[in-house]
Chain A
Amino acid sequence: MIFLYIGLPLIVAAVLPLVGKVSKKVLPDVLANGVFLFLFAYAVTGARGLLAGGALHQTFAWFGEPLGIQIAVDGFSLFMLTVVALVSACVGLYSISYMEHYGAKANYYALLLMMVAGMNGLLLVTDLFQIYIFLEVAAVASYALVAFGREQAELEAAFKYLMLSVVASAAVMIAIALLYGLTGSLSFTGVAEGLRQLDAKAAGAIASALFLMGFGLKAALVPFHAWLPDAHPSAPAPISAILSGLLIKVSGVYAMTRIFFHVFGLTPALSDVLMWTGTVSIVVAALLALKQRDMKRMLAYSSISQVGYVVLGIGIGTPLGIAGGLFHLLNHAVAKSLLFLTSGSVQQATGTRNLDEMGGLAKRMPVTSTTSLIGSLSIAGVPPLGGFWSKLLIIMALVQSHRPVLAVIAVLASVLTLWYYLIMQRQAFFGKLNERWAAVKEAPFWMAASTIVLAVLCLVLGLLFSSVVSTWIQPAADVLAQGMGM
Chain B
Amino acid sequence: MATLDIVLLSGLVLASAFAVLAKDLIKAAVALAVSSLLLGIVFFRMNAPFAGVFEISVVAGLITVLFILTIALTRTEGEVRESKTVLRVFPVFFVLFIAIDALVMKGLTAKIATLPAAAESGTFGDVLWKQRTFDLIGQLAVILSGVFAVLALFRKRDKDE
Q: How far is the CA of A198 from the CA of B146 in the complex (A)?
A: 40
CB distance from A214 to the nearest CB of B (A): 17
Using Cβ atoms and an 8 Å threshold, which residues of chain B touch A68? 129-135
- Interface pair B161/A184, CB less than 8 Å apart: no
CB distance from B155 to the nearest CB of A (A): 5
- Interface pair B137/A6, CB less than 8 Å apart: yes
CB distance from A373 to the nearest CB of B (A): 33
Using Cβ atoms and an 8 Å threshold, which residues of chain A touch B157? 103
CB-CB nearest in chain A for B134: A69
- Is A246 part of the contact surface with B, judged by Cβ < 8 Å? no
- Given contacts A103-B157, A103-B158, A67 and B142 within 8 Å (CB-CB): no
CB distance from B109 to the nearest CB of A (A): 9
- Interface pair B112/A17, CB less than 8 Å apart: no
- Interface pair B115/A183, CB less than 8 Å apart: yes
Q: How far is the CA of A202 from the CA of B116 in the complex (A)?
A: 19
CB distance from A139 to the nearest CB of B (A): 9
- Is A100 part of the contact surface with B, judged by Cβ < 8 Å? yes
- Interface pair B134/A141, CB less than 8 Å apart: no
* CB proximity to A under 8 Å, residues B144-161: 144-146, 148-149, 151-153, 155, 157-158, 160-161
- Given contacts A68-B129, A107-B152, A102 and B138 within 8 Å (CB-CB): no
Q: How far is the CA of A129 from the CA of B134 in the complex (A)?
A: 10
Using Cβ atoms and an 8 Å threshold, which residues of chain B touch A107? 148, 151-152, 155
- Interface pair B148/A198, CB less than 8 Å apart: no
Segment among A74-82, A117-125, A317-325, A363-371 that sits at the interface with chain B: A117-125
CB distance from B9 to the nearest CB of A (A): 15
- Interface pair A181/B149, CB less than 8 Å apart: no
- Interface pair A200/B112, CB less than 8 Å apart: yes
Contacting residue for A111 out of B113, B138, B148, CB 8 A: B148
What is the interface size of chain B, counting residues whose CB is below 8 A from a CB of the partner? 33
CB distance from A132 to the nearest CB of B (A): 9
- Interface pair A117/B141, CB less than 8 Å apart: yes
- Given contacts A69-B137, A136-B142, A13 and B115 within 8 Å (CB-CB): no
- Interface pair A121/B161, CB less than 8 Å apart: no
- Interface pair A144/B138, CB less than 8 Å apart: no
Using Cβ atoms and an 8 Å threshold, which residues of chain A touch B132? 68
For chains A and B in complex, what number of residue pairs have CB atoms within 8 angstroms? 123
- Is A65 part of the contact surface with B, judged by Cβ < 8 Å? yes
- Interface pair A133/B139, CB less than 8 Å apart: yes
Q: How far is the CA of A121 from the CA of B137 in the complex (A)?
A: 10
- Is A409 part of the contact surface with B, judged by Cβ < 8 Å? no
- Interface pair A203/B129, CB less than 8 Å apart: no
Q: How far is the CA of A362 from the CA of B132 in the complex (A)?
A: 55
- Interface pair B112/A144, CB less than 8 Å apart: no
Contacting residue for A137 out of B129, B141, B152, CB 8 A: B141
- Is A140 part of the contact surface with B, judged by Cβ < 8 Å? yes
Q: How far is the CA of A402 from the CA of B36 in the complex (A)?
A: 53
- Is A211 part of the contact surface with B, judged by Cβ < 8 Å? no
- Interface pair B149/A144, CB less than 8 Å apart: yes
CB distance from B127 to the nearest CB of A (A): 9
Using Cβ atoms and an 8 Å threshold, which residues of chain B touch A470? none
- Interface pair B149/A141, CB less than 8 Å apart: yes
22 inter-chain pairs at a CB distance below 8 angstroms, sorted by A residue, are A17-B148, A60-B133, A67-B133, A68-B131, A68-B134, A69-B134, A69-B137, A114-B145, A121-B141, A127-B134, A133-B139, A134-B138, A136-B138, A137-B138, A137-B142, A143-B149, A144-B148, A148-B152, A184-B115, A185-B117, A197-B115, A200-B112
